[in-house]
Structure 1
Amino acid sequence: MSEKGTNVSNIFPATTDDERDPREDQKDDRQREEEIKGDRPPHHGGE
């Protein structure tokens, strides 16, 4: 495996799952879903 120039911080998360609040992850997921829905081109139809 050739990983030259890759920082460890790019491979491992800053925090582990047990350090994060799952509610915050869900909030981030919902925000991202809304961003994706908003970025949909008009010719792809609405909801």
Structure 2
Amino acid sequence: ADLRRLGKLVIGMFIVFILLSALGASIMLPAALAFGPGIGVGLQPPA
């Protein structure tokens, strides 16, 4: 039972990490585009 709880905790943290990184990307990308291509090039993933 303890191992199962640990697994749920790890999965929960993993989901939170993915959501946070997606949120960060959605905030950083428009900001980089707004500030100009000079800054945006480093942050933009290839299309």
TM-score, normalised via structure 1 length = 0.45
Greater relative CO, 1 or 2 (CA 8 Å, sep 6+): 2
TM-score, normalised via structure 2 length = 0.45
Return the structure number with greater helix share.
2
